[in-house]
Structure 1
Amino acid sequence: MSDLNHYLCFCMRAAMKRIDRHMSGRLEELGISIPQSFILCSLLEENGITLKEIGSRTLIDSSSMTVLVDKLEKDALVERQLDPEDRRAIRVVITERGRAVAAQVVEIADDFNARLYDLLGEGNQKEFVHGIDNIIKGLE
């Protein structure tokens, strides 16, 4: 059998496990998970979007979305509201407490993003981002 480090997918998975571990530890201090941080950040960008819209933006499937939003709602970080124009649609609204947590998430994410860019090295950053983008688009 070949050395697993020969396979790009294995190396990417190893990197993501370390990234997840690091970010999970930082976000745990705020009482949220990585997917919940994505939800809060999406609501900072556009408050009052539907569960479906959040799922599309964050790549979270609908079955997981319900559980994640339930926890955020329980922790008073978001509220669900019926759409007055479409009673079947449920909109998610970030609370003031949620905004405060989301602001901390953005700060943590920005710091970590800068660290990752530093680890890549100045000459590799643009090519790395381009390569990842090619992989994402090429495997659609």
Structure 2
Amino acid sequence: MTDAPKSSLNEDYSPVFQDIARFRQLIFDSLLKPHNVTMSQGFVLVQLFRENGLRQADIAQRMQVAPVTTSKLIDKLEAQGYVERRSDPEDRRSNRIWATDRGLAIVKTMTRTVRDIDQIANEGLSDAEFATVIKALTVMRKNLQKAAAQR
């Protein structure tokens, strides 16, 4: 007798992983609403916090989205004073994106927000349970990254 296939759907056929990501995004966006920053925009800022002056194409590649999507995110961040575009001195057809002081400061707020969301999400889990969850999710992420790279 074989076991039933493993699935990310729970008993009501709701996709657990997608629900977790969706709820995290809803909470993140609501907590950062006063700063007018979304999770997607925050990802751009985090990339610039790690390496300021990236090309738009580099940000798109890191986010694994189309360059037009990144361009729209950068437009919104630029309008709010979080980033600025500068011509790439090595390639005039390309822009480099620089986080402003205001943009770098909001990354610290976002980091605190993620920690707050983690605390909400992880409530009731022992340290051992949490370690098991992280280990399993890390394996799943690696499996999915490998499969995505083959497509």
Question: What TM-score does the superposition give when structure 2 sets the normalisation length?
Answer: 0.77
The equivalent residue for 2:99 is 94
Amino acid paired to 1:137: K
Q: Does 1:136 align with 2:145?
A: yes
TM-aligned CA deviation for residue 117 of structure 1: 4.8
Residue correspondences, number = 137
Residues 89-129 of structure 1: per-residue CA shift (max 9 Å, x gap): 10000101111112211221233345445566533232232
Residues 45-95 of structure 1: per-residue CA shift (max 9 Å, x gap): 000000110111122321221111111111111000001121111000010
Gaps spanning 5+ residues in structure 2: where?
Answer: 1-8
**Which range is displaced more, 11-20 or 128-137?**
128-137
1:48/1:93 contact within 8 Å kept: yes
Q: Does 1:103 align with 2:112?
A: no
Match for 2:74 among 64, 69, 78? Answer: 69
**In structure 1, how many angstroms separate the alpha carbons of the residues matched to 2:85 and 2:135?**
39
Gaps spanning 5+ residues in structure 1: where?
Answer: none
State the identity as a percent. 26
The equivalent residue for 2:6 is none
The equivalent residue for 2:5 is none
1:80/1:90 contact within 8 Å kept: yes
Could you say which structure has the larger radius of gyration? 2
Where do 1:1-140 residues align within 5 Å?
5=10, 10-117=15-122, 121=126, 122-123=128-129, 124=132, 125-140=134-149
Residues 31-50 of structure 1: per-residue CA shift (max 9 Å, x gap): 11111000000000000000
4+ aligned runs moved over 4 Å, structure 1: 6-9, 117-121
**In structure 2, how many angstroms separate the alpha carbons of the residues matched to 1:103 and 1:90?**
25
Amino acid paired to 2:29: S
Question: What TM-score does the superposition give when structure 1 sets the normalisation length?
Answer: 0.83
